[in-house]
């Protein structure tokens, strides 16, 4: 599929798909093997800290499971027009997706960083008695607040992510701007002799609904419309609550942030469906090509994910301390 995209001059889409479905999971697994091999044999390998930091950040960008669901959606759609059989790769991809989810969620970065430091002869827990400490954003270990670089993972230390609100808002505003052409421009173009049918996201959802593919319509609507809109609204609520006044309790805002951070990547289902249809549904009489909206929609998904990752949820609790009356009223409602 990546080769098909590249051959038809969709090089940017090809690069995005290659990274999300092949590059990031392969690199993640190789880094896991490298790091855990060193820990297994009690050796500090070259670049071990950097490899650990990289694999921790890669977890958000592994989308094999999203691509697998997109494959199922495409199969349901194409099966009404042609006879399709799954190859062995389909089932291997299902197993790979499950194992990647389990591996990415089970990587104990806090423990890995600690073990690496112990192998180098340092014990990070010796700083725990220090009253003036600062927690690292990535490995969570306490450090003396006089240091600028974390002794454990090598990251830069700061009490809060620098310019977190400004950076997060900038990416969110860019996503909102790109979301407009993503909905107005065609997402998919079906070409046949004498006709070119361009359909937007809403056109595709309406067509599937009227054609009886209710499940596909619901999945595409959720991934392409509901999740991006809800994520944008959620990020606006979080940014306003952290910058001005909390709109709900800090606990609820933190839960909202965790949900927002985790669901954003599922919006890529629609893009993957278009790419799969282009690769699978290509005949001399008709073929499918991605429309201009695919690039804008990819930008929306990536920008909203970066916006969520740039946000520092601890700012919510900082703002809550500056508005103790709101915190007390939230506790009363919770206790009642």
Q: What is the pLDDT of residues 118-151, one digit of tens each?
A: 887 766 565 555 557 777 776 667 777 767 777 6
User: To the nearest whole number, what is the mean pLDDT of the chain?
Assistant: 83
Model confidence at 290: pLDDT above 70: yes
pLDDT attached to residue 291 = 87
pLDDT attached to residue 63 = 93
What is the CA angle 22-60-144, rounded to 5?
Answer: 130
Give the best-scoring range by mean pLDDT among 21-25, 246-250, 313-317.
Answer: 21-25
More confident call, 5 vs 313: 313
Beta bridge partners of 190: 197, 288
Model confidence at 306: pLDDT above 90: yes
* Per-residue model confidence as pLDDT tens digits over 21-60: 999 999 999 999 999 999 999 888 898 888 988 888 898 8
Q: Is residue 181 included in any domain, yes or no?
A: yes
* Per-residue model confidence as pLDDT tens digits over 220-239: 899 889 999 999 999 999 99
Range of the domain at 221: 2-107+160-335
pLDDT attached to residue 125 = 60
DSSP state of 146: T
- Rounded distance, CA 314 to CA 128, Å? 20
Give the best-scoring range by mean pLDDT among 110-114, 192-196, 253-257, 327-331.
Answer: 253-257
Q: Is residue 153 included in any domain, yes or no?
A: no
pLDDT attached to residue 152 = 66
pLDDT attached to residue 26 = 95
Q: Is residue 173 included in any domain, yes or no?
A: yes
- Rounded distance, CA 291 to CA 294, Å? 6
Any alpha helices (H) in the chain, and if so which ranges?
Answer: 2-7, 11-18, 24-40, 48-58, 64-78, 88-106, 109-119, 164-184, 201-210, 214-221, 227-243, 250-263, 269-280, 293-310, 314-322, 324-335
Give the contacts of 204 (CB within 8 A, at least 6 positions apart). Answer: 187, 188, 220
Tracing tokens 């670089």 back to the chain, one arrives at 149
- Rounded distance, CA 186 to CA 201, Å? 7
More confident call, 284 vs 93: 93
Mean pLDDT of 102-124: 78
Cα–chain-centroid distance for residue 255? 17
pTM score: 0.84
Q: Is residue 155 included in any domain, yes or no?
A: no
SS (H, E, C) 5-32: HHHCCCHHHHHHHHHHHHHHHHHHHHHH
pLDDT attached to residue 89 = 87
pLDDT attached to residue 170 = 96
* Per-residue model confidence as pLDDT tens digits over 258-285: 999 888 889 899 899 888 888 776 666 6
- Rounded distance, CA 293 to CA 333, Å? 45
Q: Could you tell me the pLDDT band of residue 87, with boundaries at 50, 70 and 90?
A: confident
Q: Is residue 179 included in any domain, yes or no?
A: yes
Q: Is residue 95 included in any domain, yes or no?
A: yes
Q: Is residue 145 included in any domain, yes or no?
A: no
Tracing tokens 């979080």 back to the chain, one arrives at 238
With beta carbons less than 8 A apart as the criterion, state whether 118 and 112 touch.
no
More confident call, 274 vs 329: 274
Model confidence at 153: pLDDT above 60: yes
pLDDT attached to residue 127 = 54
Sign for the pseudo-dihedral over CA of 140, 145, 149, 155: positive
With beta carbons less than 8 A apart as the criterion, state whether 190 and 285 touch.
no
- Rounded distance, CA 50 to CA 52, Å? 5
Q: Is residue 139 included in any domain, yes or no?
A: no
pLDDT attached to residue 285 = 65
pLDDT attached to residue 189 = 84
The burial of 101, by beta-carbon neighbours within 10 Å (0-12 exposed, 13-18 middle, 19 or more buried), is given as middle
Model confidence at 156: pLDDT above 80: no
Longest alpha-carbon distance in the chain: 77
How many domains does one find in the chain?
Answer: 1
Give the residue among 209, 172, 202 at the shortest CA–CA distance from 184: 202
For residue 236, how many C-alpha atoms fall within 13 Å in the half-sphere facing its CB?
Answer: 10
More confident call, 316 vs 21: 21
């Amino acid at each position: 599929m990546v080769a098909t995209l590249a051959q038809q001059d969709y090089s940017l889409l090809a690069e995005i798909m290659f990274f999300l479905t092949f590059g990031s999971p392969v690199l993640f697994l190789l880094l896991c093997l490298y790091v855990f091999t060193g820990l297994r044999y009690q050796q500090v390998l070259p670049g071990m800290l950097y490899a650990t930091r990289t694999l921790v950040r890669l977890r958000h960008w592994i989308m094999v499971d999203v691509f697998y669901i997109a494959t199922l959606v495409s199969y349901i759609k194409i099966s009404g027009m042609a006879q399709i059989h799954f190859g062995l790769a389909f089932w291997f991809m299902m197993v790979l997706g499950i194992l990647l989810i389990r591996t990415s969620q089970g990587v104990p970065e806090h423990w890995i960083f600690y073990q690496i430091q112990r192998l180098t002869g340092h014990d990070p827990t010796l700083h725990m008695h220090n009253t003036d400490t600062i927690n690292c954003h990535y490995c969570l270990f306490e450090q003396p607040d006089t240091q600028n670089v974390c002794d454990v993972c090598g990251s830069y230390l700061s009490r809060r992510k620098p310019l977190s609100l400004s950076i997060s808002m900038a990416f969110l505003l860019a996503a909102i701007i790109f979301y407009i052409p993503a909905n107005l421009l065609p997402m998919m173009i079906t070409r046949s002799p004498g006709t070119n049918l361009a359909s937007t996201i809403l056109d595709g959802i309406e067509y599937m609904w009227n054609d009886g593919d209710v499940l596909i319509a619901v999945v595409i609507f959720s991934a392409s419309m509901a999740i991006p809109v809800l994520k944008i609204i959620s990020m606006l609520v979080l940014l306003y609550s952290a910058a001005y006044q909390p709109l709900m309790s800090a606990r609820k805002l933190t839960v909202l942030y965790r949900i927002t951070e985790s669901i954003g990547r599922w919006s890529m289902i629609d893009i993957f469906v278009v790419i799969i249809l282009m690769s699978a549904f290509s005949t001399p009489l008709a073929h499918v090509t991605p429309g201009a909206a695919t690039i804008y929609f990819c930008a929306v998904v990536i920008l909203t994910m970066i916006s969520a990752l740039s946000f520092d949820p601890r700012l919510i609790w900082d703002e809550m301390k500056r508005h103790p009356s709101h915190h007390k009223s939230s506790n009363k409602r919770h206790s009642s």
